[in-house]
Amino acid sequence: MKPADSMELVWPAERYLASYIAALEQGWSGDNVRGQAATQEELAEIARDPAAFLAGLVDRQAKGPPIELPDGTKAQRLPGYRRWMWDGEFCGSIGFRWEPGTSELPPHVLGHIGYAVVPWKRGRGYATRALKLTLDAAKAEGLTYVDLTTDDDNPPSQRVITANGGVLLERFTKIAAYGGAESLRFRIALR
């Protein structure tokens, strides 16, 4: 097993795409709300236009179309991007989004950062390292803190967040559009 520091964050690119596709085809999904529906959509997008798919994962100016929420409503896109965890093969994905000029988020955005590691690479510290690296990027964007949410029944994600300085802000129930699960909101101060 490779140590966590052997994992790096890479920008989505053609040279990594075959490994990403393989993870999707093995049933992994980076979308913890829409799951396999999101996986099938991504595979279809990649088949249609791989370059456009890759370009769409990095939208620092929020130039893309409005986003569709899980309940089908549309909301303004925020600047953001996804990076891929890589240790010689695809390990997972971490996304970061923000509202320019403030650390606050609009109500339809549950958190600044979301991540998912492929099942066969879990337990190696990759998510903890990816979050740490992403916190540096958030600070560079001028944020003073980031909020992250996780389901109440997801102790591994809670450990990733607290290992990076996360403090529990609240327990809440996600709106139905996001599955209605009992959830926790954490905040990490950026110093």
Residue 184 domain-assigned (yes or no): no
- CATH number at 71 reads 3.40.630
Q: Is residue 173 part of a domain?
A: no
Q: Is residue 157 part of a domain?
A: no
Any idea of the CA torsion for 148, 154, 156, 161, to the nearest 10 degrees? 20
pLDDT value of position 167: 97
- Is residue 15 one of the residues assigned to a domain? yes
Q: What mean pLDDT is predicted for residues 75-92?
A: 95
Question: 30-47, pLDDT tens digit by residue?
Answer: 887 677 878 899 999 999
Q: How far apart are CA 70 and CA 172, in angstroms?
A: 18
Q: pLDDT by residue (tens digit) across 87-129?
A: 999 999 999 999 999 999 988 888 999 999 999 999 999 999 9
- Report the predicted TM-score, pTM, of the whole model to 2 decimal places: 0.91
| Average pLDDT of the residues of the chain | 91
The helix or strand, by DSSP H or E, that contains position 170, with its residue range, turns out to be strand 167-173
The whole-number pLDDT of residue 151 equals 87
Residue 64 forms part of a structural domain: yes
Domain count for the chain: 1
**What is the rounded distance in angstroms from the CA atom of residue 165 to the CA atom of residue 186?**
9
8 A C-beta contact, residue 17 and residue 46: yes
| pLDDT at 6 (0 to 100) | 84
User: In this predicted structure, what is the pLDDT of residue 182?
Assistant: 80
Domain assignment present for residue 158? The answer is no
Strands 67-68 and 74-75: antiparallel
For the residues 125-154, what does the mean pLDDT come to? 94
Residue 24, domain member (yes or no): yes
Q: Is the pLDDT of residue 1 over 70?
A: no
Q: Tell me the CA distances in angstroms from 176 to 40, 124, 181, one per residue in order.
A: 22, 33, 8
Residue 73, domain extent? 4-140
Residue 61 lies in a domain: yes
How many angstroms separate the CA atoms of 121 and 111, rounded?
Answer: 24
Residue 84 reports pLDDT greater than 90: yes
Distances (CA, A) of 76 to 30, 64, 107, 114, 146: 21, 9, 11, 18, 19
